[in-house]
Amino acid sequence: MEVSNAFGSHELRRFNYAEALTKGPAQEIEFDANVLSAIDRHGFVVIEDAVPESTCEQLLGEMRPYIDATPHGLHGLGGTRRVGALVARSLASHEMISHPGILRLVESILGEQQLNGDAVKIGGKEGKGRKDFRYPWQLHLTQVIDVGPGGGTKEMPHSLRLHRANGMWLHDFQQAGLDLQIEVMWALSDFTEANGATHVVLGSHRDEPRGGDQGYRQPTIQAVMPRGSALVWTGWSIHGAGANTTTVRRLGMNINYALGFFGARGKPASCLPAPSREKTPERHATPHWLSSTRWCSKLCGRMPVASRLRSEGRLRRSRARCTWTPYELGDRRTDLRACFSGRIRREIGGPDREKNEGYRNR
């Protein structure tokens, strides 16, 4: 459906990833080009059938203990529960975080700055990205968002309401000619109008200046999509969750990627225990979970007691299969806020100290 607003005529384009895979490499190339063109023109795109439903089910099974242990409104977001550190807690998340179609899109937008008005600027040179002339990028944020029945208001279910992710950086990048980050919302359950599918302002990434307020006065549409789909948008695009007016929970996974030269507060490579590090895709061996923004350091969640480390520094398995959680050091109990904000620097002691050196938060 086409909509008109201050930024022109736009539509939320949809492309089927599973279908493109069945038609061979040429169709994959066309798929990538279409997805990039859609997000350049409209600021948002939906990739349907990106992963099978079984992957969503496995991820929810692995994350269930952490979701259940997190109270509603922990972060001031009424009616929602947010739980992070998915790389360490869920092996199923790796398939989605490292999704080939998503990573190629991120490389084009962040690494090569291929969107209109953007450019790679290194050493006094400017271009669109080519071999040895592109930006590094990193995994920036991972979280499951659980919106319960009746959560929120008609407008938006939490204090952020409509917002831009780039507006949360401490520095003003409006005139930089740069895309800073890409956001992905994975539908772990069906996203419908009734259960509060994400509201989007199409074309808002073209506000003048970037980060301007004109987009907040434009009409929104909801990005409805079936389970296993992904909604992708730029950090300049205005969006916000809707209210869940049904009797069932809506579950999504928010994955962000950002330029690699932004500082970060938590590094998965240093926080992951050895069993998880060995299974983490090479591409993400050294990405960051959280960046130094005013908001992201608050996205943590609570841990079930079963996931704590024993006081002697040995790992205890959580109730989630194949999940390890190295976030209690010694006998000090804490939630992830302290870990991600860098306040925990105590080394793990005990007989396994040498083997567990990498578990401390550096």
> Residue 167 carries which DSSP code?
G
Q: What residues does 14 pair with on adjacent strands?
A: 46
User: Which tens digits make up the pLDDT trace of 144-181?
Assistant: 999 988 765 555 544 457 888 886 677 778 888 899 99
Question: In this structure, what are the phi and psi dihedrals at residue 273, rounded to the nearest 5 degrees?
Answer: -70, 160
From CA 206, how far away is CA 189, in angstroms rounded? 30
User: Residues 157, 198, 166, 300: is their CA dihedral positive or negative?
Assistant: positive
User: Which tens digits make up the pLDDT trace of 73-109?
Assistant: 666 556 789 999 999 999 999 999 999 999 999 999 9
User: Which tens digits make up the pLDDT trace of 98-139?
Assistant: 999 999 999 999 999 999 999 999 999 999 988 789 999 999
Question: What long-range pairs does 208-217 form, CB within 8 A, spacing at least 24?
Answer: 209/174, 209/175, 210/166, 210/173, 210/174, 210/175, 210/236, 211/164, 211/166, 211/167, 211/172, 211/173, 211/174, 211/236, 212/174, 214/6, 215/6, 215/7, 216/162, 217/6
Question: In this structure, what are the phi and psi dihedrals at residue 151, rounded to the nearest 5 degrees?
Answer: -70, 135
pLDDT on residue 42 = 98
Share of the chain above pLDDT 70, in %: 67
Query: Is the residue at 289 inside a domain?
Result: no
Which comes out higher in pLDDT, residue 315 or 160?
160
Q: How far is CA 48 from the centre of its chain?
A: 17
Mean pLDDT, range 187-194, rounded to an integer: 98
pLDDT on residue 177 = 86
Which comes out higher in pLDDT, residue 339 or 89?
89
Q: What residues does 146 pair with on adjacent strands?
A: 81, 251
Which comes out higher in pLDDT, residue 228 or 275?
228
Asked whether residue 252 carries a pLDDT value surpassing 80, the answer given is yes
From CA 206, how far away is CA 81, in angstroms rounded? 31
User: Which tens digits make up the pLDDT trace of 60-70?
Assistant: 999 999 999 98
The region of weakest confidence among 173-187, 259-273, 279-293 is 279-293
State the pairing for strand pair 8-11/2-5: antiparallel
Q: How far is CA 300 from the centre of its chain?
A: 13
Query: Is the residue at 360 inside a domain?
Result: no
Asked whether residue 186 carries a pLDDT value surpassing 80, the answer given is yes
**What region does 93 belong to: left with phi over 0, alpha with psi -120 to 50, or beta?**
alpha
From CA 269, how far away is CA 261, in angstroms rounded? 17
Question: In this structure, what are the phi and psi dihedrals at residue 42, rounded to the nearest 5 degrees?
Answer: -110, -15
Asked whether residue 286 carries a pLDDT value surpassing 90, the answer given is no
Which comes out higher in pLDDT, residue 346 or 238?
238
Which comes out higher in pLDDT, residue 235 or 335?
235
Contact (Cβ atoms closer than 8 angstroms) between residue 75 and residue 246: no
Mean pLDDT, range 12-20, rounded to an integer: 97
Q: Does 209 sit behind a cis peptide bond, omega within 30 degrees of 0 on the bond before it?
A: yes
Query: Is the residue at 315 inside a domain?
Result: no
Query: Is the residue at 43 inside a domain?
Result: yes
Question: In this structure, what are the phi and psi dihedrals at residue 85, rounded to the nearest 5 degrees?
Answer: 60, 40
From CA 174, how far away is CA 326, in angstroms rounded? 38
- Could you tell me the pTM of the whole model? 0.77
From CA 263, how far away is CA 290, in angstroms rounded? 9
Buried b (16+ CB within 10 A) or exposed e, 98-126: ebebbbbbbbbbbbbbbbeebbbeeeeee
Query: Is the residue at 86 inside a domain?
Result: yes
From CA 288, how far away is CA 270, in angstroms rounded? 10
State the pairing for strand pair 44-48/14-16: parallel
Mean residue pLDDT of the chain comes to 76
Query: Is the residue at 319 inside a domain?
Result: no
Mean pLDDT, range 345-352, rounded to an integer: 30
User: Residues 110, 115, 116, 122: is their CA dihedral positive or negative?
Assistant: positive
Confidence of residue 203 (pLDDT cuts 50, 70, 90): very high
Query: Is the residue at 112 inside a domain?
Result: yes
Q: Which helix (H) or strand (E) holds 146?
A: strand 137-147
User: Which tens digits make up the pLDDT trace of 22-35?
Assistant: 998 999 999 999 99
From CA 186, how far away is CA 207, in angstroms rounded? 26
From CA 237, how far away is CA 260, in angstroms rounded? 20
Which residue, among 271, 313, 276, has the nearest Cα to 289 in the 3D structure? Answer: 271
Question: In this structure, what are the phi and psi dihedrals at residue 29, rounded to the nearest 5 degrees?
Answer: -65, -45
The region of weakest confidence among 54-68, 72-86, 177-191, 241-255 is 72-86
Residue in this structure with the two tokens 């496995």, named with its chain if needed: 58
Mean pLDDT, range 220-243, rounded to an integer: 95
Specify burial of residue 161 (Cβ count, 10 A radius: 0-12, 13-18, 19+): middle
Task: Kindly report the number of other CB atoms within 10 A of residue 14's CB atom.
Answer: 15
Query: Count of domains in the chain?
Result: 1
The 3-state DSSP class for residue 3 equals strand
Domain coverage including residue 138: 2-267
Query: Is the residue at 344 inside a domain?
Result: no
Asked whether residue 291 carries a pLDDT value surpassing 50, the answer given is no
pLDDT on residue 154 = 54
The region of weakest confidence among 19-23, 26-30, 221-225, 344-348 is 344-348
CATH of the domain at 92: 2.60.120.620
